[in-house]
A = this chain, B = another copy of it.
Amino acid sequence: MSGSRRPRWSRRRFLSTAAAAPAFAALPRTASATQAPPAAGPAVQDPAPEAVQARIAARLHVMRVALGQQPADLTIEGGTLLDTITGELLPGWGVAIAGDRIAAVGDVGRHAGPATQRIDATGQILAPGFVDAHYHCESSRLSARRHAEVTLPQGLTAYFEGTHEIANAARGLPGVEYFVEAGRRLPQKIYPCVSSATPPSPVETTSGHIGYAEAARAFQRWPEAARGIDEVMDLPRVLDGSARLHGVIQAALDDRRVVAGHGSPPLDALDGWIAAGVMSSHSPRIGEALTMLRKGVHLQLKTERTGDLIRQLLDLPLRDWRSVGLAVDDRTAAELLDRGGIDHEVRAAIALGVPAVIAWQMATINNAAHWQVSHLHGVLAPGRYADVLLVSDLQRVAIQRVIASGQVVAERGRLTVPLDAGPVDPSLRHSVRLSRALRASDFEILAPPGRREVRAYVLPPRYFSRELGPITRTLPVRDGRVQRDLSRGITKYAIVERYGRGMGIGVSFWELGFDTGAIAWTVNHDHHNLGVLGATDEDMAVAANRCAEIEGGYVIVSGGTVLAELPLPIAGLMSDDDPTRVADGIRTLDRIAGQLHPAAALAGHPTDQLTFMNLTCDPWKYSLTDLGLFDLERQQRLPAVF
């Protein structure tokens, strides 16, 4: 028999008989069978639903390219492959691509057919595209498409999007859906994590509500995209067993998804926080980070101020940093263009002493494995998304070319293809819904009758800390109204509910400088209500109303005149305008705001910093929301003055 004369196994022989599986229902026993074997029948069919069949067909196509039965669409040859699993640099290893996936790695010459696009990578290193473990596209102020234009050339081919910004501003799941839809169309893969912070806490109003039912529904609707929840940060509600928050956590755990965390709980609450289900933190306090790591928390470092931690990690007995990744978290378009994105984080980690290969692992496989997508991302291997960076210098993260989903999308830092994320859903527009125009009198704080002065809560410039001294001050009263003390830098500010749910306004004092003009803004973590501060109630009203008129964004006013503005009409958070124009707008805002004499604490990027000052999560101790000023530890509302 020929079978016994061909001693070498051959793939082709397997395949030539592909259809030759015999029917196996009623074969006669072979005991006396000397006759020729029966003709082969068709393989037993096992029909799956049509959508499933389509996914199988797509997978089999990649397999067949890998087997050399069909040519690759693209090969990248002649370079050296960075293997993020073994930590090796493998000279001569290339990548063969079928559609949006990697079919084969290694010596891939045989996969090139006459129509195959071939990229010569001589002198280059092939590395997997970056995966950011924790990211808010919204913080760039750019739409998903515009953001991709900036960050794809930086090598960011996938990110885990923390959707609570848009979920709070755009009615919950419809906000999440924005990123699902954009991710489906862009070569940049977006994994929108379901917001655990909608609302962020019970003491503020947002436009959406995500509890157990909504989270479970999201996982069912977007099983591939919504890989988990992001980012559990209302520490008191974790610890007190909040029904809403623990419902969302349970929905994620029940569906075997990842529960991302935030910050560092106090050490005596750390084990409880982990036991509650939290698996990661992208913002651990440095002094506590190693303890968190030891206790199984995946760390996603933002490299700024992590030097001490990195030195600790370098002293660990193994060079096994699997549980340490990198994340950008929040970065404006201006900063992305000036400093870079995750490429900058890798560079910074290397500058802090992390060996280059480990730094690359931190921004690729470590993040991918944590999010349970190492079969799709983080390593150049078959079946993964064809996200390949051609790098001329690993140490400097010098990215010469970016291939995303099998397509060359950028060369030397410049986008080379137009991107399409589909139309922006009109329902994401007009998100600033005030039931009437604001008046100067809306910002008045009345004093008890007959008082010449009052005690008032005055937030210090940077007040997000568990450790805070007394914050009450004496303020003068005029005509029954409590006055600013601009000479001491005490101005007034307000948070105005902007989702058409009653227009609650919280007003308080803030020692933030600004002895002239007013600023209004709708990027206001994490409720994203309308913030407005100002030296006069009149300018506050003008700024706030103009901000509503442009559908959100930033407006700076002085003496009734608009000095600068940046419209962010998508949910009041993002612009679909050209990124360089948006970045210029951000820089202008900062420059003009700087002329209004902000407190020193705001130096640098004053308008961006304003957006992070009204959080209600740990470690904030006080916060003003649309419902008033709160003692967050006690979850009690405080009188503005007394």
Instruction: Check A637 against B30 for contact (C-beta < 8 Å).
Output: yes
Contact A34/B640 with A14-B235, A635-B20 known, Cβ cut-off 8 Å: yes
Tell me which residues across on chain B come within 8 A of A581, comparing CB atoms: none
| Residues 264-299 of A at the B interface (beta carbon under 8 Å) | 266, 268-269, 271-277, 279, 290-291, 293-296
> How distant is A371 from chain B, measured CB to nearest CB, in Å?
10
- Interface stretch, picked from A61-69, A420-428, A547-555, is A61-69
A502 — nearest CB in chain B belongs to which residue?
A: B26
- Interface stretch, picked from A51-59, A401-409, A559-567, A572-580, is A51-59
Instruction: Check A466 against B9 for contact (C-beta < 8 Å).
Output: yes
Give per-residue flags for A494-507: 1 if the beta carbon is below 8 A from chain B beta carbons, else 0: 00000000101111
Which of these, B65, B224, B240, B318, contacts A319 with CB under 8 Å?
B318
Contact A59/B317 with A21-B242, A32-B446, A466-B9 known, Cβ cut-off 8 Å: no
- Interface stretch, picked from A129-137, A157-165, A377-385, A516-524, is A377-385
Instruction: Check B317 against A357 for contact (C-beta < 8 Å).
Output: yes
- Interface stretch, picked from A84-92, A170-178, A335-343, A391-399, is A84-92
A35 CA to B448 CA, complexed, in Å:
9
> How distant is A108 from chain B, measured CB to nearest CB, in Å?
9
Which of these, B21, B34, B204, contacts A203 with CB under 8 Å?
B21
Do most interface residues of chain A lie in helix, strand or loop, or is the interface mixed?
loop
A236 CA to B67 CA, complexed, in Å:
12
Tell me which residues across on chain B come within 8 A of A102, comparing CB atoms: 275
Give per-residue flags for A346-370: 1 if the beta carbon is below 8 A from chain B beta carbons, else 0: 0000000000011001000000010
Instruction: Check B55 against A254 for contact (C-beta < 8 Å).
Output: yes
Contact A316/B11 with A17-B636, A30-B507 known, Cβ cut-off 8 Å: no
Tell me which residues across on chain B come within 8 A of A235, comparing CB atoms: 14
> How distant is A434 from chain B, measured CB to nearest CB, in Å?
14
A547 CA to B207 CA, complexed, in Å:
70
Tell me which residues across on chain B come within 8 A of A251, comparing CB atoms: 48, 52
Instruction: Check A86 against B27 for contact (C-beta < 8 Å).
Output: no
Contact A639/B505 with A43-B243, A46-B243, A358-B318 known, Cβ cut-off 8 Å: no
Instruction: Check B375 against A5 for contact (C-beta < 8 Å).
Output: no
Tell me which residues across on chain B come within 8 A of A268, comparing CB atoms: 11, 67-68
Classify chain A's interface size. Answer: 35 or more
Tell me which residues across on chain B come within 8 A of A213, comparing CB atoms: 46, 48
Instruction: Check A37 against B636 for contact (C-beta < 8 Å).
Output: yes
Instruction: Check B634 against A20 for contact (C-beta < 8 Å).
Output: yes
Instruction: Check A375 against B296 for contact (C-beta < 8 Å).
Output: yes
Give per-residue flags for A625-642: 1 if the beta carbon is below 8 A from chain B beta carbons, else 0: 001110101111111111
Tell me which residues across on chain B come within 8 A of A123, comparing CB atoms: none
- Interface stretch, picked from A144-152, A181-189, A467-475, A587-595, is A467-475
Instruction: Check A37 against B83 for contact (C-beta < 8 Å).
Output: no
Instruction: Check A469 against B87 for contact (C-beta < 8 Å).
Output: no
Q: Does A1 contact B (CB under 8 A)?
A: yes
Instruction: Check B86 against A34 for contact (C-beta < 8 Å).
Output: no
Instruction: Check A294 against B86 for contact (C-beta < 8 Å).
Output: yes
- 7 cross-chain CB contacts under 8 A: A1-B638, A17-B236, A18-B239, A66-B272, A86-B290, A223-B255, A277-B383
| Nearest 8 Cβ contacts at the A-B interface | A296-B381, A9-B466, A30-B628, A46-B211, A32-B446, A18-B240, A87-B318, A104-B271
